[in-house]
Amino acid sequence: MSTYVLIHGSWHGGWCWYKVVAALERDGHRVLAPDLPSLGIDKTPVADVSLRTWTESVGRIVAAQTDPVVLVGHSRGGVVVSEVAEAMPEKVAMLVYVCAFLLRDGESLLQAAQEDRTSVLLGHLVPSDDQKSATVREDVIRDAFYGECSDDDVALAGSLLAPEAMAPFSTPLHLTAERFGSVRRVYIECLRDRAVPPALQKRMYTAQPCERVITIDTDHSPFFSAPDELVRHLLALKP
């Protein structure tokens, strides 16, 4: 039995993993899909959130587990799982990036995103009055995130997406070969992704090589659009 800790991406919450959680648990595994501070049902004020806030929150969960975990990050969640692995590599058996930001030392999410100008999200974020958070324009949500998903899942997501803190986007990561670099990592690329385009995914896993790259022919949200395939790949990994 493995312990999986599933970290959601921007604007989402732990709710987005519900199909994956159920399938992994049916196979006998322990699965945790927390809400990051200010997202999902967490009530932390979004203006108070930093990358460190998220990293420490996940770090406490990972540290509390008996054995090293399989730490899975989706999209922006990749930044969080990298930082957790740097902080406590001995507690992470494997990192799995699901169409996620896999950054280099000193790089920020914003820097990486600006290297590819084809994301549907570009120009469609709506900042808050204080500029500390942003939402996504409602008319592009499906195209950006859920192109291959059912109407029911799109409706569910649309009702649960929350404002995303902006400070973590521009925060550079601090990663070392001795700590982060000692943790095994796998990348799952999604070929129809319009939020984190395939070319950007490839640029990231080429610059920061993984022991394996797995390809799924779907959109940015395989936890909705291809959950069985995503779970099959997760179970096939040998932490």
Write the CA distances from 11 to 16, 172, 224, integer angstroms. 10, 20, 15
Alpha carbon dihedral 41, 45, 51, 56, in 10-degree steps, equals -60
Q: 81 pLDDT band (50/70/90 cuts)? A: very high
CB proximity list for 203: less than 8 A, separation 6 or greater:
115, 116
d(CA 62, CA 1): 16
**Each residue's pLDDT tens digit, 7-64:** 999 999 999 999 999 999 999 999 999 999 999 999 999 999 999 999 999 999 999 9
Q: What is the pLDDT of residues 176-213, one digit of tens each?
A: 999 999 999 999 999 999 999 999 999 999 999 999 99
pTM: 0.97
Residue 239 pLDDT more than 80?
Answer: no
Q: What pLDDT is attached to residue 238?
A: 81
Pairing label, strands 133-136, 125-127: antiparallel
Closest C-alpha to 74, from 114, 20, 128, 37: 20
Q: What is the pLDDT of residues 83-138, one digit of tens each?
A: 999 999 999 999 999 999 999 999 999 999 998 889 999 999 999 999 999 999 99
Cα angle for residues 236, 35, 108 (degrees, 5° grid)? 80
